[in-house]
Structures are given as C-alpha cells and as structure tokens.
Amino acid sequence: MQDVLNFIDGRQTAAASGEWLEDVDPAIGSAYARIASSDARDVERAVAAAARAFPAWSSLPATDRSKLLRNLARLIERDLQPLARAESIDSGKPLSVARSVDIPRAVQNFDFFADAATQFSSEAHPTDEVALNYTLRRPLGAVACISPWNLPLYLMTWKIAPALAAGNTVVAKPSEVTPMTAHLLAGLCAEAGLPPGVLNVVHGLGPRAGAPLCAHREVRAISFTGSTRVGGEIAREAALGFKKVSLEMGGKNPTLIFADADLREAIPETVRAAFSNTGQICLCGSRILVEKSIYARVRDELVSRVSALRVGDPLDPATDQGALVSRQHFDKVIGCLAVAREEGGRILCGGGKASVPGRCADGFFVQPTLIEGLGPACRTNQEEIFGPVATLLPFESPEEAVKLANSTRYGLSASLWTRHLSRAHRVAAQLDAGIVWVNCWMLRDLRTPFGGVKESGVGREGGMDALRFFTEPKNVCVKL
C-alpha cells in the first residue's frame, strides 16, 4: 500500500503523530493507499520552512521564478499518463477526462503564470509636476492554498502557480479525499529546481491540519476552494488575524434555454454542463430553465441523451460517467434523490445507484438523473447536490427566467442560450453570477477574473487578479 507523505522543506515525511488515513479508490470502494494524518505540529514545521525560504525566493528575479515554474510544467507534461491514472483512481473520474482535461490544465496553469510573472506591471502617477507616485507590489510571505477534491491537481495548481509567481512561498493543503496527485507534484519539485521550503504540502483532515494552517500567525493569505460552510469558518478565522482571503465556494448554477436557441448545440452542451465530472464541478448547470414553448421538446431530447450516458469503470475508455468521490458523498447524493421524491419531483431518468459489474461492483456509482415538477423554492432547487442530478423548470418570459435563475443563495456561474443578441447582453447583465457563458459552457480564458457572488465566494482568481491577490500594494511618493 502506497504512502502519501507530507512535503516539508524539500523532504517527504510522515505526520508527526505517526497516524494515517485511508485513501479509498471510489470505483472499487476500498482503500489502496494511506495518507499522513497531520496536525498542528506538521503545520508549524511547514510554515516555518516557508517563512525561511521566503526572503531568497521573493528576491529572485521574476525571470528566474518563471523558468522554475516552467520546469515544473514540463515535468507534469512528461508525467501526464501516470498523473492522469493517479487522478482517476483517487477521484473516480474517467481516465479519459483526467488525461484530456485535468492534467493538461495543471500544465497550462504553471505555463500561464510563468509568463504572467514577467508581465506583472506597476503604475506611476505624476502629481501636478510636484511629485511622482508609483506603486510597488510586494509578495506577502507564506500563504496557504487549500484545494478541493473534485479537480485535485487542476485547482491546486490554479492557486499554487500565481502564489509562487508573485514571489510568495506556499503551504498547500489538498483534500484528504484526493491527495495523490498533490503528493506526486511534491515529488517533482526538487527535479524542477524549486528550493526547499518554497512549496510545502501538508495532508490530513480539515479540523486537524487545515484549521491550524488558517489560524497560523505567519500565514499572510488564504486561498480556498470548497464548501460554503467551510469557507465561512475560514473567513471568520482569517478576520481574527487580518489575513487576505479568497473564497471560491458552492454553486447552484442555472442554464437558461430560450426558444430561439440553436438546440442542436444547446442540448448536448446542457448535458455536458450538468453531468461533466459526474456533476462534481462547482460550475455545473444543475438547474435547467427552458422557455415553455419548447419545454417538451428539450425535455425529451435531454432525457434521451442523459439516459445514453455510460456509467462504468473509470479506467474504461468507453465510460462517460465514473464514480462519486467517496462513500460519504454517495450517501449524500442518494439522500438528495430521496428528498426530491418526497417533494413530489418526477424522476425522468436515473434516480438511484448505478450497478457496474466486475471490479467496480462495490463502487460509489449513481445514475445520471433528471427531475421535473419541482418549484424553485424546494430544497432540490435550492441546495447544492454536487452530483449527477439536474432539474428542469419551464419559464414564459425573460423576466421570469432571470427571477428563477437568481432565486438561490448562490451566484457562481450561469449559461444562457439564445440567438437574440440584445437579449443575451441584457439577461447576462441581470444574472447574479460571477461568470456568465452565452451559447457555450466552460469556455475559459485564463486572463479573466474568476469567482462568485452571494454565498458562492469572495474575491477573484485568475489572470492578474490572482497576482494582485497574492501581493500587497505600496505607494511611493517622490517629491520632484
């Protein structure tokens, strides 16, 4: 059984407690590795290492930091196949998805911020020929990057790369549910030439490892992606220490389909938006709002396409839908389906556990599910399920569509489908969402800011916004 170790000050090490957690392969329902179960002692060592490494790393020329980040990108690229397989086994997602999406995006993250490190500019303001004001942006110091289980390496590198590019040192805390690729990434650091202490990885449970990391007095900023509940706890802790915080949290995202939409494109993309990564992406469109005049046609075509999705072994190239990430999450999603039935929802397809024969007979699989007949205020349309479950609701006017779309406490993303240009701009502006896709979904430009509104988040990641988050501006005024 493989050991998933902490990476502190350039060395892989077990937790100070000597305790371990199980790393479960969700496709087969049993442990295949053990994870260091860290506590405040390991966090203290990791933060101390990051603090020691900070002066030299922050004073390194941006071009040199850029080269080292690019070295890491090339190593991830080289190891794409073993990293993708590790991601698939750890998370239950299809190997084809890990190979084509997750690991390539990790490469892009390091390449993008390697470039950004050399392009990050300052501002200068002449003041009436009396003085020159200019802004310096300095790295913060040791920062915490806490990443979720749904896109493990993809989202961890989305945080680590800009933090390092800006000159900070990092203590990363991956999810204890999917720690394997973070462990493998740590192993590439020395080969890439990263100095000891620049990147540290601490594994373990949130209350034992994550909480002391967020509370540590030397941690200057916290970048977190995860649940709204945990994000709230981190925000309260960060406020006590006056730390910078970026929180990307839950979503209950709407997809709006107007009658004039190109349905040949809208319908398959709506299926992709709802069921990618088995619905375990914060950006998934789990509420499908359809103009009433085309509702029956769209519903029937969606049911046909969703019913055809193949649930199976994540290592099988023919699999469309893999396993849910854990037994706990499987139980939650099955419980949400029971709630939908209790609320009077009509199950159009799916609705229960999926049976996968062979080695995956004991895995955590759920049938892709579509539900109709539920009002916007019911729990099923208000609470984040984070699984292969989507609901359908009809609307009669753009005003009603916007009202339905904005009716939850979340505001991460939305998609709308229409050929009407002015409607697209008008509705997009009215939607409570940090990102709105028009006639597409998950089309990302890494230069743009990313984040949510309402209970979906605080702050922005991506592009220069990420570098600004991980730096502190200082104004210098020089009298002429």
Q: What are the two backbone dihedrals, phi and then psi, of residue 154, each rounded to the nearest 5 degrees?
A: -50, -55
- ∠ CA 429-430-431, rounded to 5°: 95
- ∠ CA 382-388-394, rounded to 5°: 50
Q: Active-site residue 282, yes or no? A: yes
Helix (H) or strand (E) holding 453: none
**Catalytic choice (87, 176, 237, 248):** 248
- Whole-angstrom CA distances from 186 to 127, 196, 320, 343, 418 are 48, 11, 30, 47, 45
Number of neighbouring beta carbons within 10 Å of residue 308: 11
Q: Specify the pairing of strand 369-372 against strand 11-13.
A: unpaired
Q: Which of 151, 166, 171 is nearest to 106 (CA)?
A: 151
Outline where DSSP puts E strands in 219-259.
219-225, 244-248, 254-257
Task: Find out whether 463 and 449 touch, Cβ atoms under 8 Å.
Answer: yes
Task: Find out whether 417 and 267 touch, Cβ atoms under 8 Å.
Answer: no
Number of neighbouring beta carbons within 10 Å of residue 332: 14
Cα torsion through 231, 234, 235, 241, rounded to 10? -170
Q: Active-site residue 248, yes or no? A: yes
**Catalytic choice (145, 214, 282, 360):** 282
Give the single-character DSSP code of 294.
Answer: G
Please classify residue 291 by burial: count the beta carbons closer than 10 Å to its beta carbon, then call 0-12 exposed, 13-18 middle and 19+ buried: buried
Catalytic (active-site) positions: 248, 282
